Amino acid sequence: MKKKGFVTLILSTVGGILFALGMCMALLPQWNAMQQGIVIGVVGAAVLLGMVLVRRKMDGKPAIVFNAKAIGTTLLGIVGAIVLGIGMCMTMIWNMMVPGIAVGIVGIVLLLCLIPVVKGLK
């Protein structure tokens, strides 16, 4: 395994675990840890963002590229994640099971649309 692959593995694992734990803490009312969950989730998201920047630096690419495709791809990912999160909130917190599942599926489809946008169709 190359050094950049190992660094990416470690940072993405730590960031993903922190982000997921923060979401669980914030979304599960039984835990009564909304504010702590938000803090841990933000730390996890920051670690994941740092991982992207470190990986691009190790590849010899610029840290951030601003063009229409990068901005559109980022917005699509943000919208898809928010819609999926709203679907999760609808099912887990607001007791709206069927509409929550429908909204969650729409969020998953939006996130799946990222694959052809990023990789392209051949």
**Predicted confidence (pLDDT) per residue in 32-81, tens digit:** 999 999 999 999 999 999 999 999 999 888 877 789 998 999 999 999 99
Name the nearest CA neighbour of 112 among 70, 83, 91, 86. Answer: 83
Yes or no: say if 37 and 19 are a contact pair by the CB < 8 Å rule: no
Predicted confidence (pLDDT) at residue 18 exceeds the cutoff of 90: yes
How far is CA 93 from its chain centroid? 20
- In the chain, the largest separation of any two C-alpha atoms, in whole Å, equals 48
Name the nearest CA neighbour of 26 among 38, 16, 17. Answer: 38
Task: Specify the pTM.
Answer: 0.65
